[in-house]
Structure 1
């Protein structure tokens, strides 16, 4: 499941939330500190992926 980063403008605290893409599209999370939903904004975060690449030798 993806990890999303948010910031609460009311209490000025960043927080992360693990939720499915569907959950993310359907609701705004509550701030864990003040329980606010209207003052929560999504933050842009980095993505880390690991891939394998197979090389073909001719």
Structure 2
């Protein structure tokens, strides 16, 4: 395998990772952060400590 073809293969792998992994990351990450902000903005939940 020549260096040029290896570069083409790695470029294709990079594009696939960006397309699928980042999309999944955004789909689950953004709503998760929004829910965290909503949950921890509640006064009662800020007072509860799991470390006693």
State the TM-score, normalizing by the size of structure 1.
0.22
Q: Which has the higher strand share?
A: 1
| Relative contact order higher in (CA < 8 Å, ≥ 6 apart) | 1
Q: Which has the higher helix share?
A: 2
